[in-house]
Amino acid sequence: MYDFYSPLRLNDIPDTSGISKDRMIAAKKQTNDLLKQAKTQAKQNTCYICKKPCTSFCNSHTIPQFCLRNIAKNGNVYYSNTILELPVLKEDKGINESGTFHLICRDCDSKVFSDYENPDNYNNKITTKMLAQMEIKNNLKNISKRLIEVNLYDLMLGIGMPDYWVESKKRVSDMDLKEYNACFEHGIKRNMKPFEGDYYVPIHIELPYTIPIAFQGAIALFNDLEGNPINEIHNLDPKYVIESVYLSVLPLKDKSVIIMFIKNGVKRYSRFFKQIKKLTETEQLCVLNYIVFAYCEDYFISPDISKDSLERLIQVAGQTTEGVLTSDHQPNLNEIFDKVSPIYNYDDRQNIPNLFLEEFKIIR
C-alpha cells in the first residue's frame, strides 16, 4: 500500500503562542470579513419554501430554541470550537446565533415547522409530519452552508488560494447542493402529504432526564460498526448519490428524545441498522454519542460540562475525512477507504465521555 494520504485533524493546528496579539486580531478580522462577504453574496431574493420575494429573512434555528434554552447557561451554549479551540473562532455562542440560517421568510418559519417545534408533541407518537419537518430543516441548513461555501471559495481566489483547489471544492459543493435540494423537496412533499411508512425509524429513545447536548442534522456515515463501507464519500462520479441518515438529539425540560431515521427504501444502511438494534440501549447511546462528535460540527453543549470532559472529547471531535495526497500516486476508492476507515473506529466510543448518560444530566 502506498503511503499517499495524510488525514487532516482540526485540532492539529500550529502553535499560535508565538504569534503577536495584533496578528491574531488581524487574522480574525480577515476571517470574519470573508465570511460576511460570502454570506452577503449567498443571500437569496426569494424564500426557499414559498418562493415569494423576500428581503428580510428569518433567523431560523435548525435545533428548536426550546431545546437550546434547556441546556444554556446565562443564554450561552458551547459548540464544536469550544472543544477544538481554533484561534480565529469564538469559544461559545448565544442561543440566537446557534445553528441558524437565513433562507426562508418568517411566515414559513412559523407555519411549516409547527408540528416538530411544539414541545408538547413529544409526549405523543412521533408523526410523519414531524420527521418531514426535521428533514426540511436539516437540508435547509446544509443548503445554506453550501451556498455560503461556494461564494467563500470564490473570495479565496483573491487571497492566493490555487485555482485547482477552489474549483475542486466548488465541484464537490455543487454536487452536495444537488443532493440536499432533492432531500429538501422530498421533505416538502412528505410534509404536505404524509403517509405512514414514509420514513424508517430504527432508533427512538426517550430518557427520563435532560441531556446536556442538542443536535439535529443529516449524517453520511462512512462505515458500519464492523468496518464495512456505507458511503463512498470520496466518489466524485455525479451519478453516485451520498445517502444520509437523520439524527435528532432533543433535550426537553424533563426528558430527552433521540431519533434516528431515514427515507424509506434506502438500503445502504440496512446492515448498520441491524447491528445497532442488537445493542443494549446504553450501547446504542454510546454509538450515537460517538457519531455526533466524530462526524458532526453543529452540536451544542451545556456550559455545565466540565473542562476535563471537553478535553477528552477532542480525540474524536477533531477528525475529518479531508486529507492531503503525499505522493504522485492516484489512489482508487478502495485505497482511500482503507486509509480513511481507521479514522472512524467505533471502538473509540468507549474512550470518550458519553453525554447521553444520566451522570451528565442537566440539574436546574
- Sorting pLDDT into bands at 50, 70 and 90, what band is 84? low
- Sorting pLDDT into bands at 50, 70 and 90, what band is 108? very high
When mean pLDDT is compared across 43-52, 89-98, 118-127, 274-283, the lowest value belongs to 89-98
How far is 20 from 18, CA to CA, in rounded Å?
A: 6
- Sorting pLDDT into bands at 50, 70 and 90, what band is 288? very high
pLDDT, residue 107, reads: 96
Per-chain mean pLDDT for the chain: 86
pLDDT, residue 21, reads: 66
Q: Which of 25 and 268 is assigned the larger pLDDT?
A: 268
Helix (H) or strand (E) holding 147: helix 128-157
Which amino acid is it at 351?
N
DSSP lists the bridge partners of residue 261 as 246
Mean pLDDT of 188-211: 96
pLDDT, residue 237, reads: 85
pLDDT, residue 85, reads: 58
Q: Is the distance from CB of 250 to CB of 260 less than 8 angstroms? A: no
Mean pLDDT of 49-74: 94
pLDDT digits 0-9 by tens, 178-197? 999 999 999 999 999 999 88
**What is the DSSP track for 112-136?**
TTTTTT-GGGGGSPPPHHHHHHHHH
pLDDT digits 0-9 by tens, 220-234? 999 999 999 999 887
pLDDT, residue 86, reads: 46
How far is 75 from 90, CA to CA, in rounded Å?
A: 15
pLDDT, residue 70, reads: 96
pLDDT digits 0-9 by tens, 293-336? 999 988 999 999 998 898 888 878 766 555 444 444 455 677 77
pTM: 0.88
